[in-house]
Amino acid sequence: MTPDIHIIGGGLAGSEAAWQLARRGLRVRLSEMRGTGERSPAHQGDGLAELVCSNSFRSDDDEKNAVGLLHHEMRGCNSLIMAAAAVAQVPAGSALAVDRDVFSAEVEARLSALPNLQIVRERIDTLPAAGLTVVATGPLTAEALAHSIGAATGSDSLAFFDAIAPIVYHDSIDMDVCWMASRWDKGETKDYINCPMNRDQYLAFHTGLIEGEKTAFKEWEANTPYFDGCMPIEVMAERGVDTLRFGPMKPVGLDDPRTGRWPHAVVQLRQDNKLGTLWNMVGFQTKLKHAEQVRLFRTIPGLENAEFARLGGLHRNTFLNSPVLLDRQLRLKTAPHVRFAGQITGCEGYVESAAVGLLAGLMTAAEATGREWQAPPRTSALGALLAHITGDAEADSYQPMNVNFGLFPPLHDVKKKQRKEAYTDRAKTDIAPWLAAVRA
């Protein structure tokens, strides 16, 4: 098959772009390095759209939450990623969390069923010199291709560290100490395992985080900053003794059934697979060495005998300075036959990565078929995210960003308490005609 479009990278963004293009009758070649015997430092398997960090797509509330609104808009575009998430969903309260293995298998099965889509396990080392191309290799782009991208852009990429949270086997958790509940639980949902800490236990744990042996930086990593949305827990601990109690270890709204009171601090675990056998430690991304993680995390009440399916880790992520390098259609200004999609553009988060892949697919489909591209409204989640990446952000201070209402055109005339709902109402109204045109 001679392809109309070449997609490099089979993560969430590349898979979504391939789906949008192939469903519109275009011939697509999807190149994925994993399966050739090579993997990035963060990946563990060869499946398409592997989730390498959390298993959560965050809030699914599309009334007062920006990422929930993005879910809503992507579903309106017949998103592959959102459809696969529905099949693989596991309980997580108001969040959308998935069994990561079921999710990846569903994405790959649906793509493999498309007759005009060819999935090729191969490593691409250079940007193609011609032909419509979507590069969705993510923040861990292989070295040779990264050098090729650097040569084409003539500009340094951004980089920061991203940390991975540990996963615990359920049957190793002491449920006589821990209990099931969601924050402010009124009885209808009990989606999190809660490990309580008293003051002395918390202070000892806090000290252990700060003093524990950490992964050493390589020389070239020394000045690479962290992303605030995925901060290692020990780095948060260094910001103050109570920082964690107002962050991932917040006890507010969690009544310990043994005391009827809130603990001093709480470690929460969220279900990671449909079987309920794996649970990840919420907010516990870490750069502690593996042996140190096992020792310290087993001091958490209820986790004294914890067995870990995966320990935390640390990897370096690289991003383009997209407001400078890309045009409003995600095309490389110096090579406009090449588009970029996903986290390499500087968006952050699974859903955002897939959303930018979706947009890149729609843009490329329009270009390949000679149609004029119409961007989603600036007031929508898709439109706000796209605008941030392609020019609204300050190039000198451009940082990886999750979708949030701060990216939306402001509604100063609406009272603050009503503003989130007003943003979503406006977005849904404004994007409805655009979604209808996309589905047509």
- The pTM assigned to this predicted structure is 0.82
9 is in an annotated binding site: yes
CATH topology agreement for domains 5-157+320-439 and 163-316: no
pLDDT of residue 136: 97
pLDDT of residue 396: 74
- What architecture does CATH give domain 163-316? Beta Barrel (2.40)
Q: What is the chain's length?
A: 440
Q: How far apart are CA 261 and CA 257, in angstroms?
A: 8
pLDDT of residue 23: 96
pLDDT of residue 223: 65
Q: How far apart are CA 78 and CA 19, in angstroms?
A: 9
pLDDT of residue 37: 79
Cα angle value 361/142/70 (rounded, 5°): 35
Q: Report yes or no: 155 and 26 within 8 Å, Cβ to Cβ.
A: no
Tokens 């059934």 sit on residue:
257
pLDDT of residue 272: 87
10-residue mean pLDDT profile of the chain (440 residues): values are: 92 98 97 85 83 91 94 98 98 94 97 98 96 93 88 76 85 96 74 96 97 76 67 92 96 94 96 86 92 97 94 81 94 96 93 98 97 97 95 77 89 90 97 93
Q: How far apart are CA 254 and CA 257, in angstroms?
A: 9
CA-closest candidate to residue 182, choices 118, 252, 81, 278 = 252
For the chain, the distance separating the N- and C-terminal CA atoms, rounded to the nearest angstrom, is 27
11 is in an annotated binding site: yes
Q: How far apart are CA 284 and CA 182, in angstroms?
A: 18
pLDDT of residue 226: 73
Q: Which residues contact 174 (CB under 8 A, 6 or more apart)?
A: 301, 302, 303, 304, 305
47 is in an annotated binding site: no
Q: How far apart are CA 389 and CA 115, in angstroms?
A: 33
- What architecture does CATH give domain 5-157+320-439? 3-Layer(bba) Sandwich (3.50)
pLDDT of residue 244: 97
Residue spans of the domains in the chain: they are 5-157+320-439, 163-316
pLDDT of residue 228: 67
114 is in an annotated binding site: no
Q: How far apart are CA 259 and CA 306, in angstroms?
A: 24
Q: How far apart are CA 12 and CA 18, in angstroms?
A: 10
Q: Report yes or no: 27 and 1 within 8 Å, Cβ to Cβ.
A: yes
